[in-house]
Amino acid sequence: MNRVLYSAILRQRGFTLSVLFLLVGFFPTTFCYSQISITGLQPIEKGLYFLTYDSTSIKKLTTKSTIIEFDSSIGIIELPIVYTGGGATVLKDYTTEGEAIRNALQTYFPTKPIKYIFSSHWHPHSVASLQPFISNGTTLITTRSNFKRIREMLDSTTYALYQNNICFVEDSLPIHDKSNSIVCYRFTKKDYPNVPTEDYLFFNLPRYNSFYSSCMYQRLSGIEVCGKELVSGRVEDVSTFLHKHNISPKYLLGFTSFPYEVDATGRVPADTLTSLLNNGTLTSSIIGTITNWSEPFLETNMDSAVNYILLNKISFYYVNMAVYKLFAEKKLQRALLVARLQTLLNPTDANSWDTYGEAYYVMGKFQLAKYYEKQCFKLNKDASGGENIWKKDLENFQQQWNSLKK
């Protein structure tokens, strides 16, 4: 089918979704550029589409952008060209791949410019190309904190010319016209501790009763704790946010999906979230159990604590998280004892000794802290930790402790 004709059909008034699928289904034209191929534009409902990607070496799986169609423009939620999260160090603009996406969308929507890119956070699986868009009039919707990293993708000339095309969400930002709407919500790690960056954006699509949570809907399939599927803390945060803002979506959206739980349109039914919370083991419950162990129990019943962790198949990662939760609550002696428990459980892991050293550092016992710092780097000379990191952490903890007094 001619691509221009296809675009015209999509915008004909009066076509139902079933007719659209009958006419075009999943439009499979493949645009191949550099290391990415755009495998098709999938109509979901009138004005809502998935643009799907496949690539070779720059990411590991098929991902997708969500396309929102307004009266005279379109918006893109996420550009997951590269499947890389917080492990990204130096950020670069995948300009060639971004141009491929822009050209494809201009083919699909020849009369509608790309007005917005909505990015939830700075990781490349949220946004990996910006220059081809903002230099053509597209506005990036993000947060000030996340843009401090996204800014690395732009050369100084491009930023100087197009910095007015960056829009920051402070609390919430509705964008709408007579045909469509999206509401951007900003939230922070302070209130939602499992968010992967200092702050983050969610996007509500009220016309489609859909809620875009990006990588916050994180399914830990196959991981069981206490005989039940472990529910990610990110999933708990999504649920808390929805309840707090009185949002009851029918669907959850993201840049990738779990094949066994999406419906025919590729959306995750929101009752999957409810089922997880009702039938799984909550991460917060596991961490809460550990942080609630008293100092006398940890001092005299360490074997019982070890047995509980091992028999219930609790990842040592959550023991480590419990230590930092206790730091934030200024329960320092208990944090030290849980850190000691972690080194007993996982003595060959450099991070265990780093956390143990940090516990002494936070308590002001610097000589002991230095000793365990050396043990950490003996196990892994490239470990991410040590006194420089502890100092920054302590400054953050002190701010949290001050807020506890108020």
Q: Where exactly are the structural domains of the chain?
A: 3-279, 283-405
Pairwise CA distance, residues 373 & 297, whole Å: 27
Q: Which fold has domain 283-405?
A: 1.25.40
Note the pLDDT tens digit of each residue in 184-241. 999 999 899 999 999 999 999 999 999 999 999 988 878 899 999 999 999 999 999 9
Tokens at 75, concatenated: 């918006």
Tokens of 215: 């990588």
| pLDDT value, residue 55 | 56
CA distance 1 to 7: 10
pLDDT band, residue 264 (cuts 50/70/90): confident
How open is the CA angle 286-290-292, to the nearest 5 degrees?
115
Task: Note the pLDDT of residue 3.
Answer: 37
User: Which stretch of DSSP H or E encloses residue 17?
Assistant: helix 17-23
CATH superfamily of 3-279: Ribonuclease Z/Hydroxyacylglutathione hydrolase-like (3.60.15.10)
Residue corresponding to tokens 């915008």: 11
DSSP state of 138: P
CB distance 344 to 302 below 8 Å: yes
The answer to whether 224 and 240 are in contact (CB under 8 A) is: no
Confidence (pLDDT) at 343 = 97
Confidence bin at 82 (pLDDT 50/70/90)? confident
Local structure of 146: helix, strand or coil: helix
The yes-or-no verdict on residue 372 having pLDDT over 90 is yes
Per residue in 119-146, pLDDT (tens digit) is 999 999 999 999 999 999 999 999 999 9
For residue 262, the number of C-alpha atoms closer than 13 Å in the C-beta half-sphere is: 14
pLDDT 10s digits, 275-310: 999 999 999 999 999 999 999 999 999 999 999 999
